[in-house]
Amino acid sequence: MAAVTATLAAALLRMSGSIGLRHSPDEELATAVEEIKHCEDLLAARADQDIRSFNLYLAARKNKRAEKEPDVQRLLLVCAKVPLEAAELVEHLQLLAVRIVAKCPDFLASDIATARYLLEASHRALLENVVINLGDLDESNDKHAIVERLERLRNKYTSIKTD
């Protein structure tokens, strides 16, 4: 659900940027709108992938296999990576939102603010999804790489939020 929320936030941000372009054509704003659309598409794909991978994980666990078997662990790794990738996309959208707010007319401020609030909520939820999936994941280099990316996102998010 968090990736779906982020996709909706991206759509709102893209809509705001597109309206801003109609009022005042701007090359930087046009580029940002294109980037937002690209992130929106990628987030929609991550939302679908998240549902599929979680369903596969649940099915593998029900197959009377031990919880720590390689297939279950592999699927759990995917269940951690997908929301992490979505959170990285949300991070990029947050930066794009900061860029477009200065380029859009004031009457779009509430739409952009709403998109930013939705991005913030989805970012937090996506990171929580990663954390919960890490709990059952065996120690490995892959798990450590995810933890490092997660911490980078948490730290960077704090600096974006205060900007």
- Report pLDDT for 162: 46
pLDDT tens for 64-118 read 555 557 788 899 999 999 999 999 999 999 999 999 999 999 999 999 999 999 9
Residue 15 in this model has a pLDDT that exceeds 90: yes
Which residue, 56, 34, 51, is CA-closest to 86? 51
CATH number at residue 136: 1.20.120.680
Compute the distance between CA of residue 23 and CA of residue 104 in angstroms, rounded to an integer.
8
Q: How confident is the model at residue 62 (pLDDT cuts 50, 70, 90)?
A: confident
| Residue 112: domain span | 2-162
Number of H helices, E strands in the chain: 5, 0
Count of domains forming the chain: 1
What is the pLDDT, as a whole number, of residue 156? 73
Question: Would you list the DSSP string of 46-59?
Answer: HHHHHHHHHHHHHH
For helices 27-62 and 70-101, what crossing angle results, to 10°? 160
Q: How many other C-beta atoms lie within 10 A of the C-beta of residue 148?
A: 10
Write phi, then psi, for 82 (nearest 5 degrees).
-60, -50
Question: Letter for the amino acid at 105?
Answer: P
